[in-house]
Amino acid sequence: MAKIDQRGQIVPPKQAINDFFKGYFDFTGYTTRAGYLWVALISTVFLFVLFFGMIVSMMEAINSFGRYGYYYSDFGILRFLFSLILLVGLFLLIPFIAIQVRRLRDSGFTNRGIVAIYLYVLSVFPFAIILSILTALANVVPALFGIVLVVFLFAYYFSWIILGGLYFAGLVYPTNGFVIDIDNPVLNFFFRRTNEPEKEKVVYVYKSVEVENEEKTVATEKSTSEQTDVEEAVQEIKEIKEVEEVHEEMETSIVEPSEKELSNEDVE
């Protein structure tokens, strides 16, 4: 399974579609706004064409039944298009969830925030059960459970508006658009902070600064190495001079006694 990381890239439609299918099960990567919107636009147009064909076939089938008392061959086309839309929808369900998770992470959502949003989406099933129970109790004791039912519906739908708005904004915001620099436990639960390791520099923004810093580092290292080479050469010259001085002293100490001995022999 390939890991998709589109940060710092200009994503054309072809790359967006390729990454969409390459990252079929990738829930850990990053998809930019362009990479997501191209896929959403192309898939929407494709499904709209199928849906429009299904509607036209359905209208023709109903019209033929009204005129002739039986379904014309368009009904077979209708069943085919409905089955095709169902199969395509099931096939694209997992990669669509994966690309949305990557898009939310790229815009600045934390992993736990993304999980919380999707768990809240799944809460619609227990919500239906609780709603049916409260409705039944409200019919028995309307004075009490009627108020509870109204408060419960208001709180649930209001939270859906808030989280739904955040979810939609996360899909269309640019890279790191939701990254914050605020120390708040609620906000930090959903959004990354600027000092977290997941927020990496975008290459095309910091490229010139990084190149300049690298050049300065190379120049500093070069000057330091040259200075070190000069110091080593000076030290070697000093050592050579010291060795030469030692040799001269030794030669002097050897020559002087021999001259004294010669003078003594002459005196004798």
Q: How many CB atoms lie within 10 A of CB 243?
A: 10
- Say if residue 75 is exposed, middle or buried (CB neighbours under 10 Å; 0-12, 13-18, 19+): middle
Q: Give the tens place of pLDDT for each residue, 29-83.
A: 999 999 999 999 999 999 899 888 888 877 877 776 666 655 555 567 777 888 8
Q: State the pLDDT at residue 215.
A: 56
Amino acid, single-letter form, for residue 82: F
Q: State the pLDDT at residue 140.
A: 78
Q: Give the tens place of pLDDT for each residue, 156-198.
A: 889 889 988 999 999 999 999 999 988 889 999 999 998 654 4
Q: Give the tens place of pLDDT for each residue, 216-265.
A: 554 555 555 666 666 777 677 777 777 677 666 666 665 444 444 444 44
Q: Give the tens place of pLDDT for each residue, 191-210.
A: 999 865 444 444 444 444 45
Instruction: Write down the pTM of the prediction.
Output: 0.65
Cβ atoms of residues 71 and 65 within 8 Å: yes
Q: State the pLDDT at residue 127.
A: 84
Q: State the pLDDT at residue 26.
A: 93
Q: State the pLDDT at residue 207.
A: 45
What's the per-residue H, E or C state across the chain? CCCCECCCCCCCHHHHHHHHHHCCCCCCCECCHHHHHHHHHHHHHHHHHHHHHHHHHHHHHHHHHHHHCCCCCHHHHHHHHHHHHHHHHHHHHHHHHHHHHHHHHHHCECHHHHHHHHHHHHCHHHHHHHHHHHHHHHHHCHHHHHHHHHHHHHHHHHHHHHHHHHHHHHHHCCCCCCCECCCCHHHHHHECECCCCCCCCCHHHHHHHHHHHHHHHHHHHHHHHHHHHHHHHHHHHHHHHHHHHHHHHHHHHHHHHHHHHHHHHHHC
pLDDT: which is higher, 1 or 188:
188
Q: State the pLDDT at residue 214.
A: 59
Q: State the pLDDT at residue 206.
A: 40
Q: How far is CA 131 from the centre of its chain?
A: 38
Q: Give the tens place of pLDDT for each residue, 118-129.
A: 998 888 888 888
Q: State the pLDDT at residue 246.
A: 63
Q: State the pLDDT at residue 220.
A: 55
